A and B are shown apart, each in its own frame.
Chain A
């Protein structure tokens, strides 16, 4: 399946793009997708922390299996307000 990956803030800057598409085997987790994103975007490899993630705009753990999610976002700690 094809997953639309969104990157925000510092991660988008490091990757050089705010968005990419990744073909993923079924039953892969959010954490495994992050590994794939970092393979595609070398600029993200220095990121050492576990990113925050959201599947279809809802916060998700790295262990969550991506089933039917069209959009998965990865982002650094938030700093609104």
Chain B
């Protein structure tokens, strides 16, 4: 049983070991990290929260779907939850494939699917307040109880 959601630092080397194989001549990876600036606002940290059981299912479904569509690939996805500082990785995808094209395309598609479908949300904390980020929009936080 693989945990695709974690509160610990993402270990991309472990992910790579999980999907490497002698048949694969290509490794493509993506890591999304916390940016210091969102437009003109300086970001101190981001809280990632998720609908855990559903997010796990969606991430697994994305892996299965890409595995069917790109012959010979192996894919590992991990998304982090909790409070992350600038520079820390929130998402990592590692794909191995016999050849580079499948590896690169599957990696890119995985990232787009995760961002579109996984029930995970980020709340940015700035020097002067906080915002929920929703589909590229910033919405002010009321600062009431934390979500699970």
Partners in one complex: yes
Cα distance, A79 to B123, chains bound together (Å): 9
- Is chain B's binding surface mostly helix, strand, loop or mixed? mixed
Q: Which residues of B contact A12 (CB under 8 A)?
A: 145, 147-148
CB of A8 within 8 A of CB of B145, answer no
Least Cβ–Cβ distance between A81 and chain B, in angstroms: 4
What residues of A have a CB within 8 angstroms of the CB of B120 in the complex? 78-81
Within 8 A of A (CB), among B87-132: 90-91, 111, 114-123, 132
B144 lies within 8 A of A13 (CB): yes
* Residues of B close to A78: CB separation below 8 A: 115-121, 134-135
Q: How far is the CB of B94 from chain A (nearest CB, A)?
A: 15
Contact with A along B40-74 (1 / 0, CB 8 A): 00000000111101110100000000000000000
User: Complex formed: what's the CA distance from A43 to B120 in Å?
Assistant: 22
- Give the distance to chain B from A5, nearest Cβ to Cβ, in Å: 12
Kindly supply a per-residue 1/0 record for chain B positions 10-53, scoring 1 wherever the CB is within 8 Å of any chain A CB and 0 otherwise: 00000000000000000000001000000000000000111101
Instruction: Check: A9 CB closer than 8 A to any chain B CB.
Output: yes
A73 at the interface (CB under 8 A from B): yes
Query: Would A76 and B118 be within 8 Å (CB), given that A9-B123, A13-B147, A57-B54 are in contact?
Result: no
Nearest residue, chain A, Cβ from B32: A81
The smallest beta-carbon distance between A77 and chain B, in angstroms, is: 4
Identify whether the interface residues of A are mostly helix, strand, loop, or mixed: mixed
Contact among B49, B118, B142 for A14, CB-based, below 8 A: B142
A9 pairs with B132, CB closer than 8 A: yes
The 4 closest A-B pairs by CB, nearest first: A80-B120, A9-B121, A77-B135, A57-B54
Question: Measured between alpha carbons, how far is A8 from B119 in the docked complex, in Å?
Answer: 9
Q: Are B145 and A17 in contact (CB under 8 A)?
A: yes
